[in-house]
């Protein structure tokens, strides 16, 4: 079946230092985390030798979960299953819901935090939720024999189409950091299948804090896996400081503003995706109103 195709070399670093040595020598190597996305691609088997594969599975320092009084840090090679098991008392409900949405139990045993965030051309559930939780990612960049380490908000790891940009052709996301202060209103919805039917799918998430019958610190993100990664600062600003309940006319106005923004900035989104995202956004605000009146 693969006659004439030479198997690529596989490198297995056991530390960040070993990884640095390998990536400097083989800057075009493919990074292999859990392999769930790569193996799901129709052309996952390398069609040419390229620069080999770097398997991150033996780097124990990327598998740690630590916390202090202000935040929790999660290594890039922590799996969704491990995070769910270890983080029930640490993680906000919206992140737990997101992790449970990431395929079957078998998939969650393999899919890693870093692998999910670093798909080059598609954004999935974890990126959306971590963006509204103001999570940050530690990224090591390897350029011309030098290593630089930077912390980047997850919301800024991607362009408006959702394509990954770590700031260097050779880079490694090593861990993420999430603050331990969470808003008390959290909503997350996925419609469609982000893997098999990404062109019909959408992911919508909202996070806010309710204070004295009003809203503060509203963060909102809507993602269409291969089309858009949209954070609306305008909508967040208009919702932050709003009194509860929000008037139905304002709910309707804001939902149509969302559609107008998406249409203007992302021409490839279908009418069905737009309408479903709008209705989900509206349902979040109606839910807010319902809770404020109960």
- How long is the chain? 294
Residue-wise pLDDT for 26-50, tens only, equals 988 888 887 666 655 655 555 554 6
pLDDT band at 169 (very low <50, low <70, confident <90, very high): confident
Does residue 124 carry a pLDDT above 50? Answer: yes
Cα–Cα separations (whole angstroms), residue 280 to 39, 221, 276: 32, 12, 6
Tell me the pTM: 0.90
Structure tokens at 13: 């670093």
Rounded CA separation 151/36 (Å):
26
Average pLDDT of the residues of the chain:
89
Instruction: Encode pLDDT of 45-96 as tens digits.
Output: 555 546 788 999 999 999 999 988 899 999 999 999 999 988 667 789 999 9
Cα pseudo-dihedral 75, 78, 83, 86, rounded to 10:
-80
Selected residue with higher pLDDT from 211 and 262: 262
């Amino acid at each position: 079946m693969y006659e004439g195709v030479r198997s690529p070399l596989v490198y297995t670093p056991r530390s960040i230092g070993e990884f640095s040595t390998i990536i400097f020598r083989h800057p075009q190597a493919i990074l292999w985390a859990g392999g769930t996305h790569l193996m799901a691609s129709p052309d996952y088997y390398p069609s040419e030798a390229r620069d080999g594969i770097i398997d991150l599975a033996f780097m124990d320092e990327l598998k740690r979960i630590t916390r202090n009084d202000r935040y929790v840090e999660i290594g890039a090679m922590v799996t969704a299953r491990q995070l769910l098991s270890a983080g029930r008392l640490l993680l906000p409900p919206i992140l737990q819901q997101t992790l449970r949405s990431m395929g079957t139990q078998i998939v969650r045993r393999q899919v890693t935090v870093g692998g999910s965030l670093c798909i080059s051309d598609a954004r999935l559930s974890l990126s959306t939720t971590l963006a509204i939780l103001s999570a940050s990612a530690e990224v090591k960049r390897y350029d011309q024999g030098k290593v630089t380490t930077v912390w980047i908000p997850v919301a800024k790891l991607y362009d408006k189409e959702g394509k990954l940009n770590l700031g260097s052709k050779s880079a490694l996301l090593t861990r993420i950091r999430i603050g331990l202060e969470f808003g008390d209103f959290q909503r997350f919805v996925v419609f469609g299948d982000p893997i098999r039917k990404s062109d019909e799918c959408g992911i919508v998430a909202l996070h806010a804090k309710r204070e004295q019958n009003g809203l503060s610190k509203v963060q909102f993100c809507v993602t269409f896996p291969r089309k858009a990664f949209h954070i609306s600062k305008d909508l967040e600003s208009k919702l932050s400081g709003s009194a509860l309940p929000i008037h139905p006319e304002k709910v309707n106005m804001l939902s149509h503003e969302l559609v107008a923004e998406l249409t203007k900035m992302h021409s490839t989104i279908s009418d069905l995706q737009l309408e479903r995202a709008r209705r989900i956004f509206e349902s979040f605000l109606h839910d807010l109103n319902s809770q404020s009146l109960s």
